[in-house]
Amino acid sequence: MKNRNVIAGLLVSFLILICTASMNAAARYNLPDFTELVEEHADAVVNISTSKQTEVKRGLPPGMDMPELPEGSPFGDFFEKFFGEHGGNGGEEFFNSRSLGSGFIISDDGYVITNHHVVKGADEIIVKLSDRRQLVAEMIGSDPRSDIALLKLEGSNFPSVNLGDSDAVKVGQWVLAIGSPFGFDASVTAGIVSAKGRSLPSENYVPFIQTDVAINPGNSGGPLFDLDGNVVGINSQIYTRSGGFMGLSFAIPIEDAMDVVEQLKTHGYVSRGWLGVYIQEVTRELAESFGMEKPAGALVAKILPDSPAQDTDIQVGDIILSYDGKEVKNSASLPPLVGRTRVGETVKLKLMRDGKTKNIKLKIGQLPEKNQSLASKDAPEEETEDTVFGLVLRPLTDEELENLELENSGLLVLDAQSGAAKSAGIRKGDVIQMINGEPVESVSAFTKLMNDLPEGKFISILVQRSHGPEFLAMRVPEKE
């Protein structure tokens, strides 16, 4: 009997342990409760509406006359209203176009952050608060490159958010958004951080936080909170094929946003650092051609004239591995680092050249207002041409070199036939400038360089295209 009691006691203890462990596991994996966070911070999130007068000219299209209509026809008033009398110049009419977005108050004296694209070109900006007040906001400044705008409300004692640390955000952690999707005020959605440091094609200076939080039109400019109730990002863009949410949302890190805000407050504009180089991603094939064990860094494809980089030892074909002590994992990670650097500051760059590392110092310049563009003209037909490795090539004229802003000579690709060069991505209209770091000055020089290359190995080819320079990796074909 005594043994039975002992066994029963042990069994009960074992069951209690199992239940406790199960409860602890359930608690660990239970979804978080966002109610307290929303109650404390939703009042600082605002709805933003804008209006803009759009001029519309009335009149029939050129070459069209007003149709002859019977007297008293009900269509007479219609045509006169929309196309003017006799179909001529009907004058101008103005229509109010409106947009909706979100924002949030960052200080009790009424400073509001939203997206540049929410308030771009607005004649009037109305901020609607959680207590139903609607206030006209003053535009302090706006920055298209970061998509940040700073507004100011008249008054005091406004509810405001707490600002967090977006650098401390971790992939996989919970985040929450509050905004006005499709005009539905104070809508709350939650999700996790999917990735950090994302670069989008139109936004080179913002290392976006990617989330799967449901963001839709109208959420733009609203805050992204962490579980402690701190704003870590500003919801800015979505990736969509349908016009709605598809699980890919992008937020501007709060550190980058506040750097812009402080400059807008102080100067009314934003100044960014500038290296003056075109860069591109290092692919696996390019890494092999440059003697690297794995892809890393940002490959320098062009050095712009009158730029900070031109006054240093940086060369085309260098790979920037670190910037002022920060690792450059890929080409997308470099522009935000440079952009956040103060103009005139000296930084250290770690480069790879010819398989060896090199350290240089460089004084950062100011990013020009407009990006430099490259133009090309159709080549004259009378120039000498030749076919090498499936490429129909000819030298560039002096005029073409000037139009393309090229200091050295190059070869224009008139046609790319089947072969290793075409497989590498070389196409008609490309200008071949370098082969494995060696400049190409003539068709014969190109042929000699190609014949001297090791068979079966990847080599780098620098080409100039309408949008700028680009390195391509080509596997050298084996000789028959």
Residues marked active site are found at 117, 147, 220
**CA pseudo-torsion sign 94, 99, 105, 111:** negative
- The two structure tokens encoding residue 261: 């805000």
DSSP per position, 18-58: HHHHHHHHHHHHSPPP-HHHHHHHGGGEEEEEEEEEEEEEE
Q: Taking Cα atoms as reference points, which of 346, 301, 356, 353 lies closest to residue 324? A: 346
Q: For 158-175, b where at least 16 C-beta lie within 10 A, e where not — what string?
A: bbbbebbebeebeeeebb
Neighbours of 61 (CB within 10 A): 7
Q: Taking Cα atoms as reference points, which of 141, 363, 166, 106 lies closest to residue 263? A: 141
Q: Running DSSP on this structure, what letter comes out for residue 333?
A: G
Residue for token digits 């400049």? 439
Between the CA of residue 35 and those of 13, 32, 169, 176, 227, what are the distances in Å?
37, 9, 21, 11, 11
- The two structure tokens encoding residue 64: 């069209």
Q: Tell me how far apart the alpha carbons of residues 254 and 232 are, in angstroms, rounded to a whole number.
A: 5
**CA pseudo-torsion sign 243, 245, 246, 250:** positive
Q: Tell me how far apart the alpha carbons of residues 49 and 360 are, in angstroms, rounded to a whole number.
A: 49
- The two structure tokens encoding residue 153: 């409300």
Between the CA of residue 219 and those of 127, 251, 331, 424, what are the distances in Å?
14, 11, 29, 42
